[in-house]
Amino acid sequence: MPSVSIRNLTVAYNKGRTLALDNFNLDVEDGEFCVFLGPSGCGKTTALLCIAGLLVPTTGSIKIGDQVVISEDKKTFVAPQERNIAMVFQEYALYPSMTVRGNMSFALENKKYSKEEIERKVNSIASMLGIEQLLDRKPAQLSGGQRQRVALGRALVRDPSLFLLDEPLGNLDAKLREQVRFELKRIQRRLGVTTIYVTHDQTEAMTLADRIVLMRDGKVVQEGSPKDLYHKPINTFVAGFVGTPRINFLTCDVSVKEGRPYFAFGQSALPGSQALAVTLNGKSCVVGIRPSDFMLVDTTEPEAIKGKVEVVEPLGDEIVVHFTAEDQLLVGKFSAADEEKVNERIAVKVDPDKLHIFDAETGDRIDG
């Protein structure tokens, strides 16, 4: 049974001129960690607010578990406080005059939980989040990352059936983001609570999600596991949004020689997969190459792309190499062990099956 079902959700502003959500459909499974990913303004927060009941959509219906929380005809509307949802915003606010314990207990006291029960729940979540030694402090005495964890803890103690998080790690530094991200994922796994997490950061989406819902202009462009989106992006937008460093795009004309397609750019040509020869003959395509799919080869190797190295970025066990080939700036990612092969000039090849081929006009994926 899906935990959240959203059908034909549309939110229109400015008398219908702005569609913040445009016929949005989605099923989130029970216990799933679902991430809404997309550029600023694509409708992520709007979708979350509708699920929480803080915004009434123009049209559409939402079901949480068995319960219809808003029906198509709007005759059914379940108030936010009756949806058993916990929501954490980027601009979370803790009660400044209360201790961490007070902040975390507040909602449970309102629900008339017993003292022992509150203590047990608060202590258990606090220890999962690594803030148990901070329980008697006030928010002003905490670092940003600690405050963020308290905000998450305050939401988690309530045992929500659905956890909605809107860019909750936005104001943390890179190291803390990574740490809180890991804790969040671990706790979500342990509690098994269905979670919808909003971010525009693809790394966050890739590392956290069971499923990513990639959005643009109020619509779902592609949904699937992080692997699906990375390995089988349905168009150039998805390919460009997911993966770091960013995928390389080359616009190429295709010619077929001895049953094999070649993607020509400048004086170079990349051999493609034979399966695509018939489909692609004479067409113009965009070829996507993930930086890690470039293989370093000897500069004398036939059919290799030759490039001039511009910048090498060391990343510890890997290196990122920016190079120009046929006047195009490309980026490759290689093992640091291969660094000695990277001189002023490099030559690279790509396994034909690893190329992502898109229609040059529509940007849609062409599969063999």
List of residues contacting ligand ATP (CB under 6 A): 13, 18, 20, 38, 40-46, 200
- Binding to Mg ion (CB under 5 A) within 18-47 occurs at 45
Listing from the earlier edge strand, what are the strands of the sheet with 211-216? 85-88, 162-166, 194-199, 33-37, 211-216, 219-224
Shortest reach from residue 23's CB to Mg ion, in Å: 19
Choice between 197 and 263, CB closer to ligand ATP = 197
Q: Report the run of H or E that residue 215 belongs to, with start and end.
A: strand 211-216
Choice between 45 and 194, CB closer to Mg ion = 45
C-alpha 341/C-alpha 305 separation (Å) is: 15
Going 286 to 287 to 291 to 294, the CA torsion angle's sign is: negative
Shortest reach from residue 201's CB to Mg ion, in Å: 12
| Residue 46 binding partner per list Mg ion, ligand ATP, none, with a CB distance cut-off of 5 to 8 Å that depends on partner kind | ligand ATP
Contact 151, 94 (CB under 8 A): yes
Choice between 24 and 263, CB closer to ligand ATP = 24
Query: Binding residues for Mg ion, how many (CB under 5 A)?
Result: 1
Shortest reach from residue 38's CB to ligand ATP, in Å: 6
Output the six-digit token pair for 111.
Answer: 């629900």
| Residue 13 binding partner per list Mg ion, ligand ATP, none, with a CB distance cut-off of 5 to 8 Å that depends on partner kind | ligand ATP
**Alpha helices by DSSP H, the chain:** 44-52, 100-110, 115-129, 144-156, 174-191, 202-208, 226-231, 236-241, 277-280
- Binding to Mg ion (CB under 5 A) within 42-71 occurs at 45
C-alpha 214/C-alpha 224 separation (Å) is: 9
Contact 149, 129 (CB under 8 A): yes
Choice between 24 and 334, CB closer to ligand ATP = 24
Shortest reach from residue 42's CB to Mg ion, in Å: 9
Choice between 46 and 202, CB closer to ligand ATP = 46
| Residue 61 binding partner per list Mg ion, ligand ATP, none, with a CB distance cut-off of 5 to 8 Å that depends on partner kind | none
Choice between 90 and 292, CB closer to Mg ion = 90
Which residues make up the interface to Mg ion (CB under 5 A)? 45
